[in-house]
Chain A
């Protein structure tokens, strides 16, 4: 097992992400308070007792943001796991086997890729009904085309290597060739693209919930919070500033971490001209 070395910026991204996720998973949410409890007057600016202010019902924003981060990240991660599994399967199969199977898979992928992302998400929500399932399915459908394409491209490159030919000659069956020889060598691509897909997923969930088709209140997600905050924006800007900052921070840390992963898995030489 080679050690995974990352540059400081990517590590900072990872640390920042963990800092956002851990409180949402652990019991710290309880320490911050009940996200649904009414703790004080309505629309109060940040102060002791409500560190990020209170919303239009007098609920403290801080625990709601924590619940929101949890919902958003859990949904997006689950969706990206589904995307990764499907892309890995289809991409490796298409890249290794080629032929009609490849054509078929790439056509389906291109159909999905040709939809504008948020329009696709709205259509999914209209079919499945607004809610978490719609958000999850939307993220999967939006992220799957790019990932499948890139996994396929990586698999095409691997399929021509000598060790794959050697395995085939020595009588390995298809599942073994794919599982033992092709898949491990495209894992880096899957990891990098999975990271980027996660940030896209958070953005899609946010946009969909913001339009009212995703996660439904009273459950909090970052998109739901920003949508609700928008109504009282003039009187209480902290209602969108808190969740908005957390949302951007989450996506930024994931992207920076993804860049680090990419540099690690696909190192390139660089030179400077000046």
Chain B
């Protein structure tokens, strides 16, 4: 019962957060200088033309009324119509989803498959009293190279040596360097935290092999922070790997939304940002559920 109440509260606060985001994004768009009328009609449009255009998209109503209409439509799954292309926003986003989804999937898979083992190995090999300078420096380097710097370098190398860029491998590789390093660091921290617990001492005393201890006593207990990080990375990448899309000319969701910001295509920006935030929040709730399943101690504490 208490657990049910807790999840109810969680759902409620998520809804409040989403509402806050919708207000923020709506207000931000209305605060931006210039409007989409200028973008469509050009600088020589007459006030009458602008007024007609505004009326067509309901922009002549009060801001509060606009917000109400938008939110009500959004609730029924109608994300509105792009003011530039006149296509439904949902269809336009769906057309760009495969690019974003593949990039995300590749990067997250790399992060989990490479980052978790790296983190575990560096943790169980850590010597008491610090040390592990090389590993620390390497994973530190991985989280220190911004996407745009690494991406520029990769684009340079590829074009200089005439390499073929096949599919999403290279852009995903650029994204995954950070993801792998961050995952490795978090895994290492989590495992180090478990290693000093008494049940590990007991396992060592029973003469269990390190590999057995890792599989049976460490992985589950250290899973919490790693799962949370993986969810965060996934959600952020789904929201748009803007810079990598820009560098590699990929038609993903991130570049679509940013282009829409430039054109003041309100419906697209509103839907894109709100959906990205919703994905982020839902992922976080799901991962909390998952963490509770993998490590029941944490579920109960929540």
- A residues contacting B by CB (< 8 A) are 7, 9, 107-108, 110-111, 114-119, 122-123, 126-127, 129, 199, 202-203, 206-207, 210-211, 223, 226, 229-230, 233-234, 237, 240-241, 244, 247-248, 251-252, 255-256, 259, 263, 268-274
Contacts and interface: CB of A to CB of B under 8 A. Distances in A.
Q: Is the interface of A mostly helix, strand, loop or mixed?
A: helix
A269 B273 CA distance: 43
B43 interface: no
A226 B13 contact: no
B227 interface: no
A206 B239 contact: no
Contact of B148 (A122, A223, A271): A223
Interface in B39-60: none
Looking at B146, B210, B258, B280, the one whose CB has the most chain A CB atoms below 10 A away is B146
Contacts of B159: 233-234
Contacts of B192: 268, 270
B21 A114 contact: yes
Contacts of B68: none
Contacts of B210: 273-274
Contact of A255 (B25, B129, B140, B257): B140
Contact of A207 (B31, B130, B243): B243
A240 B277 CA distance: 34
B160 A119 contact: no
B125 A274 contact: yes
Contact of A226 (B127, B149, B246, B269): B149
B193 A207 contact: no
B140 A119 contact: no
A248 B258 contact: no
Contacts of B196: 268-271
B130 A248 contact: no
A233 B156 contact: yes
Contacts of B193: 268
A251 B33 CA distance: 34
B126 interface: yes
Contacts of B156: 233-234, 237, 240
Given A111-B24, A226-B149, A240-B152, A256 B140 contact: yes
Contacts of A251: 144-146
B125 A114 contact: no
Nearest to B247: A230
Contacts of A234: 156, 159-160
B6 to A, nearest CB: 15
A256 B254 contact: no
Contacts of A203: 146
Given A211-B246, A234-B160, 16 more contacts: A110-B20, A115-B21, A119-B239, A119-B276, A122-B261, A199-B144, A202-B146, A207-B146, A237-B160, A240-B152, A247-B149, A248-B144, A251-B145, A269-B196, A270-B196, A274-B124
Given A114-B281, A119-B276, A252-B141, A271 B195 contact: yes
B70 interface: no
Contacts of A115: 21, 239, 273, 276-277
Nearest to A222: B149
Contact of B147 (A119, A207, A259, A273): A207
Looking at B25, B140, B277, the one whose CB has the most chain A CB atoms below 10 A away is B140
Contacts of A272: 124-128, 195
